[in-house]
Amino acid sequence: MQHTRIQLAQDDIPKQYYNIQADLPEALPPVIHPGTGQPIGPDDLAPLFPMELIGQEVSQERFIDIPDEVRDVYSMWRPTPLIRAVRLEKALDTPAKIYYKYEGTSPAGSHKPNTAVPQAYYNKVAGIKKLTTETGAGQWGSALSFACQLMGIDLEVYMVKASYNQKPYRRSMIQTWGGQVFPSPSDRTQAGRNVLSISPDSPGSLGIAISEAVELAATREDTKYALGSVLNHVLMHQTVIGEEVKRGFEIIGDEPDILVACVGGGSNFGGFTFPFLADKMNGKSDMRVVAVEPTAAPSLTKGQYVYDFGDTAQTTPLMKMYTLGHSFIPAPIHAGGLRYHGMAPLVCHLYDLGFIEAVAVTQTKVFEAAVLFARTEGIVPAPEPSHAIRVAIDEALRCKESGEAKTICFDLCGHGHFDMAAYDAHLSGSLEDYQYPETEVGKALSLLPKVG
């Protein structure tokens, strides 16, 4: 029998998060207060996050212990499978070895609980009774609802109204796990009421939903806010993925030549690749590390590395990142996720320093790869990791031409059970490709406040 799954034991669930900030050859550019133009400090963040997470955000410690209670929850689905894609290799007739780490076995069906659980935990131990957050289609909202239920914390999710009405299934999941969901804009916040007074039929946006969630956290004593990507501590929590991948390759005595992961906000990519990047930064490894984004939202490949707001409504501090401008709105024909205008500052810094590559792919090619993967490996992948599958396949086909037997590993960060409408669109031929025009980036960025 072919042993295609590399078996980890429960004791292989990581005991510490890896903090890449300890190994950066140059420190991360500071986050800037838009009013003062000065770096923000812990007090600026204290209304929104518990002090432990603020400490993790700026920590220079290489490893941070994972609390036992968080590891106990991780053990509900971790270690996740590391699988050799022998059927895909055969279909491609490639000498390359292709592996994938599958994060879709979590209760929420994605990698998001890896950070939702510790965020809920650190809030609980800080005495917080309620979290607020925003969600688009509901993947992050459902993961946080799961985590808050286990930690005994209440949750209010502000869900973009158009998704609330059109994509009810993740909304029902949030509710099944006990979270409250409100269509945004709502009449529960000043930010929401302001929008509704001007535009009563507003379909909402992630920017508006962030403003609502942040307003509530900032104005209530027992309530904080949680974010599902972009921030340093979020990416650090996700390093449990990459640490398990390293352990899996140790067991089989191999090592990846190429790592591939999709990027939207950057947490999946960071969590999967950062544990491998220490060796690359100190010159011990020449592994290629590839970030894959959609041509419809190409922040790394078409954006500029400048200070920008994290949200459309300009309520967050300024972060240095590759950005398309915070006014960016994805084209309606873009089916998958990965819709953020910017990118996690840590990912941008590593890209700027040349330790990682980036490539943008079109969605018809992405769904072709997704269907080939489903038909060979069985799992129906979410559209987001299918961007990584596309590039992994392209690299394997290059190996076929060159005759090289490279080892390629990608992160399959979630299943596609809630994305079948996008598959239907692809299979019926109604998906179209879209390249975000580079000329729009300059226009959007010319309006930004200048920093540094």
Q: Is 230 left (phi over 0), alpha (psi -120 to 50) or beta?
A: left
Distance from CA of residue 171 to its chain's centroid?
Answer: 19
Strands 16-18 and 357-361 come out as unpaired
Q: Which stretch binds a second copy (CB under 8 A): 284-292, 358-366, 368-376, 389-397?
A: 368-376
d(CA 229, CA 134): 12
| Closer residue to a second copy (CB): 22 or 421 | 421
| Closer residue to a second copy (CB): 175 or 202 | 175
| Closer residue to a second copy (CB): 46 or 420 | 420
Q: Which stretch binds a second copy (CB under 8 A): 251-259, 324-332, 335-343, 420-428?
A: 420-428
Number of residues that bind a second copy (CB under 8 A): 49
Single residue of 377, 384, 394, 411 touching a second copy by CB under 8 A: 377
Residue 13 binds a second copy, judged by CB under 8 A: yes
Based on DSSP, count helices (H) and strands (E) in the chain, helices before strands.
19, 15
Residue 412 gets which letter from DSSP?
E
Residue 149 binds a second copy, judged by CB under 8 A: yes
| Closer residue to a second copy (CB): 73 or 346 | 73
d(CA 277, CA 350): 9
Q: Cβ distance 299 to 308 under 8 Å?
A: no
Single residue of 424, 442, 443, 452 touching a second copy by CB under 8 A: 424
Single residue of 68, 221, 286, 401 touching a second copy by CB under 8 A: 68
Residue 166 binds a second copy, judged by CB under 8 A: no
Query: Between helices 113-125 and 139-151, what is the axis angle to 10°?
Result: 40
Residue 420 binds a second copy, judged by CB under 8 A: yes
Residue 284 binds a second copy, judged by CB under 8 A: no
CB 416 to a second copy: min, Å: 8
Q: Is 323 left (phi over 0), alpha (psi -120 to 50) or beta?
A: beta
Site string for a second copy, 170-189 (x = CB under 8 A): xxxx-xxxx-----------
By CB under 8 A, the residues from 193 to 212 that bind a second copy are none
1, with CB counted inside 10 A (0-12, 13-18, 19+), is: exposed
Q: Phi first, then psi: give them for residue 99, nearest 5 degrees.
A: -120, 155
d(CA 333, CA 331): 5
Residue 304 binds a second copy, judged by CB under 8 A: no
CB 77 to a second copy: min, Å: 7
| Closer residue to a second copy (CB): 2 or 439 | 2
Residue 158 binds a second copy, judged by CB under 8 A: no
Residue 427 binds a second copy, judged by CB under 8 A: yes
Structure-block tokens of residue 23 = 């190994």
CB 13 to a second copy: min, Å: 8
Structure-block tokens of residue 89 = 């290799």
Q: In Å, how far are 99, 101, 164, 295, 340 from 451, measured between CA atoms?
A: 42, 39, 37, 28, 21
Q: Cβ distance 341 to 324 under 8 Å?
A: yes
Beta strands (DSSP E) in 85-225 are 97-102, 130-135, 154-160, 180-184, 223-225
Site string for a second copy, 73-112 (x = CB under 8 A): --xxx-----x---x-----------------xxx-x---
Q: Which residue has the tokens 């984004």?
A: 293
Q: Phi first, then psi: give them for residue 44, nearest 5 degrees.
A: -65, -30
Single residue of 126, 333, 353, 421 touching a second copy by CB under 8 A: 421
Single residue of 37, 39, 41, 168 touching a second copy by CB under 8 A: 168
Single residue of 371, 397, 398, 440 touching a second copy by CB under 8 A: 371
- List contacts with a second copy (CB under 8 A): 1-5, 7, 9-11, 13, 68, 71-72, 75-77, 83, 87, 105-107, 109, 146, 149-150, 168-173, 175-178, 371, 374-375, 377-380, 417-418, 420-421, 423-424, 427
